[in-house]
């Protein structure tokens, strides 16, 4: 414990060094702006910032992206509460009580509750991340290839099952991603696969190209088809300020804070269950177990605290498997993993031994990011929401420009520009036909790791595929993966049973609604 505190202290000292601190502040501001703008998502923002990190050292890069990630979970709350415009899907639950409270004439109080909720969720998640990381890393040291394969499979299945929407479409998206990762020279046998004689494809398709194309260009094309209808803000109206709740008011909501933090951290650790799901689940839990559950939706603080605490609390949960296993659990952490790999470092248990200063600097930057984003939100809210005046067509043109630079900078080849445009169109088609993009991106990133661990296991264990089930850790993780895949079925059965218990009439109504 003392060692952890000592390392964390060293991390704080490192973060206060010039470039790290600048990266942190820039990351916080840009993350908030991205979250405020309805046309830009948090993940897209982190993707677009990636090319700017090429010239930075690895710690500065990760601090910048992590700061963006953290502040992105908070920035969208402003527009949800003040203008009924959720900057991110995670901010939708804030419309129900946050906006209602603002409409009742207490916008400052609603913003105050959000600020305190983000602060609490953020600090708790940082403490959890620091506390869990080392035990996680020690545990991960016992992993061999079958265990890695099992963990990647768990990541795949939970992302597919918990990501929302159609399981069939999510599986197709995932398989397409894994197959894209097979393009190039095979690692085990050194043979070309799907290169079609194009030299640059022998190096494979960069996951960065897929991410930038599908998230950036694809999203812009989708919005262009809708005519860039989210018009700039016409009038903010009223005085915009933040009023911090009193200690007595905060104490009354202690159970809500505790429940939401737990939901957030758990959703963070499980791959696929990101901030959006945490935000909705937490609101749902509050509506089931909250002391004032019947008043939810009428503009009470419980309905603001629950989703905001949970969404911010997912960040630390996501960072633990990312740093200790190299497994990203969300779109944003997938990009952060991409930044690690671009700088030639594969996160994993050995990172704690070899690069402990870097790891603890990242943890320290998370603490500072949480505090920084709250200060930023408190003092600069009026300025931040001015970004809503930007016309969407101009924002979109800049997004494309970021995408082009991002793709071109990686290998300086025009083929990558063609690829991002192709993946942009593919991303648009995915969105148009309701195929989620996240499983494809995770498939591209984790596909090579899955293949390598699978093939190595097969070679080491003489093609005995039962090895994945016989070894205690990999067997348990594979079982969890199966449970994750069966989760939609279980959920459906439970819902049906609940409806049946309420009577045939209700069941019919439920079916009609479904």
Partner 1 sequence: MIAKLKESLPYWVTLAVSGYFFRVAQGISAPGTGDQLGPDFWPKMFLVLLMLVCAVGIGRALLGRRREPDDVFDQPTEGAPAAQLGGEPEGEPEKRYPLLLLGGIVLCLGYVVLFDTLGFFLDTFAFMLAFILVGRYRRIGVAVGASLGGTLVFMYVFMKIVYVSLPIGSPPFSDVSIFLMRLMGIR
| Residues from 431 through 450 that contact partner 1 (CB under 8 A) | 431, 433-436
Q: Does 168 bind partner 1 (CB under 8 A)?
A: yes
DSSP-derived secondary structure letter, 6: H
**Least Å distance between CB 482 and partner 1?**
15
- Residue window 171-210: x/- pattern of binding to partner 1, with contact defined by CB under 8 A: xx--xx-xx--x---x-xxxxxxx----------------
Q: Are 338 and 448 in contact (CB under 8 A)?
A: no
463 binds partner 1 (CB under 8 A): yes
**3-class secondary structure per residue, 231-277:** CCCCCCCCCCCCCCCCHHHHHHCHHHHHHHHHHHHHHHHCCCCCHHH
Distance CA 184, CA 194 (A): 7
Return the axis-axis angle of helices 302-325 and 254-269, rounded to nearest 10°: 30
191: how many CB neighbours lie within 10 A of its CB?
Answer: 9
Rounded to 5 degrees, φ, ψ at 184 are 115, -165
CB of 378 to partner 1, least distance (A): 27
Q: Which of residues 260-279 bind partner 1 (CB under 8 A)?
A: 276-277
**Among residues 50, 404, 442, 445, which is the contact residue for partner 1, using CB under 8 A?**
404
Neighbours of 231 (CB within 10 A): 9
- Identify which range of 29-37, 121-129, 280-288, 379-387 contacts partner 1 by CB under 8 A: 280-288
In angstroms, what is the minimal distance from the CB of 425 to partner 1?
6
End-to-end CA gap in the chain:
50
One residue of 458, 473, 480, 483 binding partner 1 per CB under 8 A? 458
Binding test (CB under 8 A) with partner 1, winner from 12, 378, 408, 461: 408
> Can you tell me which of 375, 394, 479, 482 binds partner 1, judged by CB under 8 A?
394
Which CB sits closer to partner 1, 171 or 371?
A: 171
Q: Which of 141, 225, 469, 506 binds partner 1 (CB under 8 A)?
A: 225
Which residues, numbered 82-121, are part of the site for partner 1 (CB under 8 A)?
A: 89, 92
**Residue 383 tokens, joined:** 């300025």
Q: Using CB under 8 A as the criterion, what x/- string covers residues 478-507 for binding partner 1?
A: ----------xx-xx--xx-----------
Q: How far is CA 52 from CA 19, 63, 259, 499, 509, in A?
A: 13, 13, 38, 52, 52
413 binds partner 1 (CB under 8 A): no
Residue span binding partner 1 (CB under 8 A) among the ranges 358-366, 370-378, 399-407, 471-479? 399-407
DSSP assigned state of 215: I
Cα–Cα distances in Å, from 36 out to 3, 32, 379, 382, 389? 39, 6, 16, 12, 11
């Amino acid at each position: 414990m003392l060692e952890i505190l000592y390392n964390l202290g060293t991390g704080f000292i490192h973060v206060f060094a010039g470039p790290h601190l600048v990266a942190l502040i820039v990351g916080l501001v840009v993350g908030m702006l991205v979250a405020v703008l309805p046309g830009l998502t948090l993940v897209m923002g982190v993707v677009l910032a990636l090319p700017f990190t090429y010239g930075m050292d690895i710690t500065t890069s990760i601090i910048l992206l992590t700061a963006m990630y953290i502040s992105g979970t908070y920035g969208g709350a402003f527009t949800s509460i003040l203008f009924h415009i959720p900057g991110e899907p995670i901010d939708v639950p804030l419309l129900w009580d946050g906006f209602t409270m603002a409409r009742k004439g207490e916008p400052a109080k609603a913003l105050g509750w959000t600020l305190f909720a983000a602060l609490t969720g953020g600090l708790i998640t940082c403490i959890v991340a620091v506390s869990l990381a080392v035990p996680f890393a020690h545990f991960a040291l016992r992993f061999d290839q079958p265990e890695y394969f099992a963990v990647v499979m768990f990541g795949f299945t939970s992302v597919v099952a918990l990501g929302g929407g159609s399981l069939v479409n999510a599986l197709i998206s995932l398989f397409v991603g894994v197959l894209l990762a097979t393009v190039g020279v095979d690692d085990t046998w050194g043979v070309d696969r799907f290169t079609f004689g194009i030299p640059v494809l022998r190096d494979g398709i960069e996951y960065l190209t897929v991410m930038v194309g599908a998230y950036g260009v694809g999203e812009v094309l989708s919005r262009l088809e809708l005519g860039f209808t989210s018009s700039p803000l016409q009038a903010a109206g009223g005085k915009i300020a933040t009023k911090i709740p009193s200690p007595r008011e905060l104490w009354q909501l202690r159970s809500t804070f505790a429940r939401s933090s737990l939901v957030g951290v758990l959703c963070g650790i499980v791959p696929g269950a990101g901030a959006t799901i945490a935000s909705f689940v937490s609101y749902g839990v509050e509506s089931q177990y909250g002391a004032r559950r019947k008043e939810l939706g009428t503009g009470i603080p419980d309905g603001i605290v629950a989703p905001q605490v949970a969404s911010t609390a997912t960040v630390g949960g996501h960072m633990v498997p990312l740093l200790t296993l190299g497994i990203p659990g969300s779109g944003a952490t997938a990009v952060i993993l991409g930044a690690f790999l671009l700088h030639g470092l594969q996160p994993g248990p050995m990172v704690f031994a070899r690069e402990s200063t870097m790891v603890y600097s990242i943890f320290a930057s998370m603490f500072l990011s949480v505090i920084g984003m709250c200060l930023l939100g408190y003092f600069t809210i009026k300025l931040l929401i001015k970004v809503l005046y930007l016309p969407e067509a101009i924002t979109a043109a800049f997004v494309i420009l970021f995408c082009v630079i991002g793709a071109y900078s990686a290998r300086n080849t025009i083929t990558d520009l063609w690829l991002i445009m192709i993946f942009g169109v593919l991303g648009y088609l995915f969105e148009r036909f309701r195929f989620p993009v996240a499983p494809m991106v995770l498939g591209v990133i984790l596909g090579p790791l899955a293949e390598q661990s699978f093939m190595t296991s097969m070679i080491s264990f003489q093609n005995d595929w039962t090895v994945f089930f016989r070894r205690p850790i990999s067997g348990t993780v594979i079982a969890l993966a199966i449970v994750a895949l069966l989760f939609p079925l279980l959920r459906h059965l439970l819902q049906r049973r609940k409806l049946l218990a309420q009577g045939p009439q209700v069941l019919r109504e439920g079916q009609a609604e479904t």
